[in-house]
Amino acid sequence: MQIVKYQFQQHGDERGSLVALEEFKDIPFEIKRVYYMYDTAKGVTRGYHAHKNLEQILICIHGSCKVKLDNGTEKKIVYLEKPYEGLYVPNNMWREMYDFSDDAVLLVLASEYYIEDDYIRNYDEFLNMLQQNKDK
């Protein structure tokens, strides 16, 4: 499994740093939604689902966290701790986010609006869907 981590351009000067993200330029899709999670309780794992039709970029803009990606055959763990790094998460990818630092803010840029039907929350269902896609 290839992990795609974007390194965004940092505009830094004596005042500090700034990152600007433009759809189709820095981000490979139209950004239809932005959300972020913070104040994550100790020991919590979020996610435990895949999406049928959603691309996302995860940026830990403050603090750190880990993301486990699972494409049904391979699993990889990615550590996010830099506000100028974005992890690309394609559709049909199981994800779990955990080990959030107390100060972690995980920002997500999404290619689609929020659609509950797009979630696959059962791991066996996820594997079945991958198999069905293969059989097509």
Binding site for ligand T46 (CB under 6 A): 33, 35, 37, 46-47, 56, 95, 97, 108, 114
Active site residue 62: no
Shortest Cβ 24–ligand T46 spacing (Å): 21
Residue 13 or 36 having the CB closest to ligand T46: 36
Residue 18 or 44 having the CB closest to ligand T46: 44
Q: Is the dihedral of CA 89, 96, 52, 123 positive or negative?
A: positive
Cα distance between residue 42 and residue 130, in whole Å: 32
Cα distance between residue 64 and residue 14, in whole Å: 25
Most distant pair of Cα atoms in the chain: their distance: 56
Shortest Cβ 71–ligand T46 spacing (Å): 14
55 backbone φψ class: left, alpha, beta (φ>0; ψ -120 to 50): beta
Shortest Cβ 112–ligand T46 spacing (Å): 9
Q: 100-114 b/e with 16+ CB inside 10 Å = b?
A: beeebbbbbbbbbee
Positions marked catalytic: 49
